[in-house]
Structure formats: structure tokens, C-alpha cells
Chain A
């Protein structure tokens, strides 16, 4: 089977750093993507790791370890607008995505 595990909820304060972990078990792995979704909105693409290591895009960074079937999304200098759900997703053949259950991030003042 295939599964992706990520924490259901994370709470942090404005200005802090938060890490959202994702472990996966799947066949046909091409890479790990991260998406942000605000309530009632569509998922928006944040980052993609095909190879081991860290990818940095502004305040957001994503890490992948293929040998550990593990990745994380790091959000720095948290802002209130970062309150949203964050999904890791495994990219498989044919550009298909399998999503994790999502992590609801609450940023408090």
C-alpha cells in the first residue's frame, strides 16, 4: 500500500520557525511536493524535492531524504497569513500526486 504521515495540527507564534514532517511509504516515488491550502481555497504549490537535500524558496524550505522516506517543510519568520493547511504529496509516474492527510498550522500573535 501507500501512505503519507504528517502531524494533524501544529501551533506556533508569529516570528517563530516551524517544521512540518512527512514520512511516506509508496511505490513509484519520483519526488515530494508541498502545497498550502487556506480554508475554502485551492492548494497552491510551495516546493518540490526530487533529490536529497534542502530546497529554499524565501521563507519556506523543504528537505528530502529518500533513504529515510522522510521530508519536511520549514517555515521561517512565521506570519499570521501562514495559518493554513499544509500537505505533503508524493509524485508518482504520470505526474500523479498522492496527498498526505494535511497539517493544520495555527499561527498565534
Chain B
């Protein structure tokens, strides 16, 4: 149980284009999902908290107009990187907690490369 999936696992795009990453909780419902970014050999940095049916809460320094988050259902959150630039190349990971529990389960991550 408690499986979180992400799609795509890898994406390469040209600078200036937009990329959408999906995060799904496969066997549970999640009111809240989290989006992290991880650069090579570094820690996970929380970007935003995605709340079903309401606006996401962004961490300080994260541009909400650049990283669009939509949490349209209790099992799906999407992160769209708009007008991507090479410095946005990173490993993007989502996580979710089954309702009523404390443990966060992480998706397998999406490696974004912007050329």
C-alpha cells in the first residue's frame, strides 16, 4: 500500500518551453501533496504544499507563476514548470500522506533536463 507514482520519469525539453509533471497516489487519497526539488548530491528542498481544491502554498523564494501547481482531485497533483531554463534542470519529487497518517510517501521522482 501507500504507493505514489510520478510521470514522466525523465523529460528533456528546450529552453522556453513548459513541462508538466504528474503526481498520483495510487491506493490512497491525499488531501495534501508536497513538491520538492533536489539538485545533485544535495538535500530535498520543499517547493510548495499542494492542497486539494485550493491554492498551493509556496515556500519562500519559489516563484508561483513559474511553478504552477494544480491539485484537482484527492489522488492527483500536477506541477508545471513554465518557460523552463537550464537552471531549472533538477530532480523533482512529490510526496503524499494517506489521510489520517503522519508518514509521507515519495514518488519515484522526475528528472528534468532543460537544454
Contacts and interface: CB of A to CB of B under 8 A. Distances in A.
Contacts of B44: 43, 87, 99
By Cβ-Cβ distance, the 9 closest A-B pairs, closest first, are A42-B106, A99-B44, A99-B43, A42-B108, A43-B106, A101-B43, A42-B109, A102-B43, A95-B97
Interface of A: 30-31, 33, 35, 41-45, 48, 50, 87, 91, 94-102, 104
Contacts, number: 50
Interface in B76-115: 93, 95, 97, 102-109
Q: Interface centre among A31, A33, A43, A87, by most B CB within 10 Å?
A: A43
A94 B103 contact: no
Nearest to B97: A95
Contacts of A101: 42-43
A30 B104 CA distance: 14
B46 A96 contact: yes
Contact of A41 (B95, B102, B104, B109): B109
Interface string B30-47: 001010000001111110
B106 to A, nearest CB: 4
A92 B107 CA distance: 20
